[in-house]
Amino acid sequence: MADVSLHSGGGAGGSSALRHVVYVLRSNPVTLFAFAMLALLVFAALFGPAVAPYDPYASNAARALQPPSWDHWFGTDNLGRDVFSRVLVATRLDMAISVSAVALSFLVGSVLGAASGYWGGWTDRIASRVLDTIMAFPLFVLAMGIVAAMGNTIENVVYATAIINVPFYARLVRAEVNIRRNAGFALAAKLSGNADWRVLAVHIFPNALPPMMVQVSLNLGWAILNAAGLSFIGLGVRPPTAEWGIMVAEGANFIVSGEWWLALFPGLALMLAVFTFNLLGDGLRDMVDPRLRT
């Protein structure tokens, strides 16, 4: 039964789904490019520290503020640290922050959204009120407030990013669950003796997964921007840790005197990561729902 509902929701079965993916990838080189970029990012996150040519924390006053050269591809910063190594090593931290934040909001949002979409009533009313309140804040500002109140640590940046993203997931799941609450397959599952939570978790919720995946991908880019923005204003990550946002902030002081490479390369890495996730999200949307294609 679970399989049937999954397939009827996804619109395609095992091998034909794979064929569809291959078809979309072939007809849309941009999505293929996005997957290639994602592979690069994952590689940098996993093996960055191993392949970095220099120690990202080793300062060398003799080689401070050197422009990009063959020795130092992205130049060196004011302490003589190799910018390329730092950008590479920072990938892991930036990805870890955004992935864990998005995973948290995915989990919490799914539970909240599924419960309020399925049971309605007071659960729904209270959950919706709480989510509305979160959305009533300018989100970046709320994240700032949360980190300031809970303490200036990386974990709290993750929690803050997760909290401000929960409403997006919860609303999506709530809508998807709500329209299927009384669908034939859900009623049949219930009649054959499944408990409410089981019908919800195993039969109804999987149908919300395809649009959720799109949301996850778009959200990852946003979470990276958010975390980098927070560390840019001095929240969360502290120097000398290598992280893109804080590296741009450190490089900002040298922009007006013309040392552009300090801020440019971490900024580019940041843009590239966000761009990849946005492209990926658009590509995934094409796979999941071709009608929404623009």
Partner 1 sequence: MAGRLKTILSRVAQAAPVVVGVVIVTFVLTRALPGDPAVYFAGAAADEASIAEIRTALGLDKSLPEQFVLYVGDLLRGDLGESISTGQPVVTELARRLPASLELTLTALLLSCGVAIPLGVLAATRPGSWADHLCRVLVTAGVSLPTFFTGLALIYVFYYLLGLAPTPIGRLDFIYLEPPRVTGFFLVDAALAGDWETWWGAARQIVLPAVTLALFTLAPICRITRAAMLQALSADFVRTARAAGLTRPTVIYRYAFHNAMLPVITTLGMVFSFTLGANVLVEKVFAWPGIGSYAVDALVVSDYAAVQGFVLAMALLFVALNLAIDIAYTLIDPRIGFEN
Q: Which is nearer to partner 1, 96 or 144 (CB)?
A: 144
Q: Which is nearer to partner 1, 199 or 279 (CB)?
A: 279
Q: Which is nearer to partner 1, 145 or 239 (CB)?
A: 145
The least CB distance from residue 261 to partner 1, in Å, is 11
CA atoms within 13 A on the CB side of 90: 30
How many chain residues are in contact with partner 1, going by CB under 8 A? 48
Under rule CB under 8 A, residue 28 binds partner 1: no
Please name the residues in contact with 25: beta carbons below 8 A apart, sequence gap of 6 or more.
Answer: 31, 32, 35
Measured CA to CA, the distance from residue 38 to residue 23 in angstroms comes to 19
- The span of 21-29, 90-98, 113-121, 270-278 binding partner 1 (CB under 8 A) equals 270-278
Measured CA to CA, the distance from residue 54 to residue 45 in angstroms comes to 16
Under rule CB under 8 A, residue 29 binds partner 1: no
Q: Which of residues 141-200 bind partner 1 (CB under 8 A)?
A: 141-142, 144-146, 148-151
Please name the residues in contact with 251: beta carbons below 8 A apart, sequence gap of 6 or more.
Answer: 77, 259, 261, 262, 263, 264, 266, 267
Among candidate residues 48, 56, 51, the one with its CA nearest the CA of residue 240 = 56
Under rule CB under 8 A, residue 41 binds partner 1: no
The least CB distance from residue 151 to partner 1, in Å, is 4
Q: Which is nearer to partner 1, 14 or 129 (CB)?
A: 129
Q: How much of the chain is in helix, strand and coil states, percent to nearest 5?
A: 80, 0, 20
The least CB distance from residue 119 to partner 1, in Å, is 21
CA distances to 59, 75, 82, 235, 256 from 64, in Å: 8, 9, 9, 26, 17
Under rule CB under 8 A, residue 22 binds partner 1: no
Q: Which of residues 213-252 bind partner 1 (CB under 8 A)?
A: 221, 225, 228-229, 232-235, 245, 248-249, 251-252
Q: Which of residues 87-146 bind partner 1 (CB under 8 A)?
A: 129-130, 132-134, 136-142, 144-146
Q: SS3 for 259?
A: coil
The least CB distance from residue 23 to partner 1, in Å, is 22
DSSP state of 53: S
CA distances to 32, 146, 194, 229 from 117, in Å: 35, 28, 18, 33
The least CB distance from residue 232 to partner 1, in Å, is 5
Q: 59: which 2 tokens? A: 């300062």
The least CB distance from residue 9 to partner 1, in Å, is 26
Bridge-partner residues for 76, per DSSP? 82
CB 189 within 8 A of CB 199: yes
The least CB distance from residue 136 to partner 1, in Å, is 5
Q: Tell me which residues touch partner 1 (CB under 8 A).
A: 129-130, 132-134, 136-142, 144-146, 148-151, 221, 225, 228-229, 232-235, 245, 248-249, 251-252, 255-258, 260, 263-264, 267, 270-271, 274-275, 278-279, 282, 294
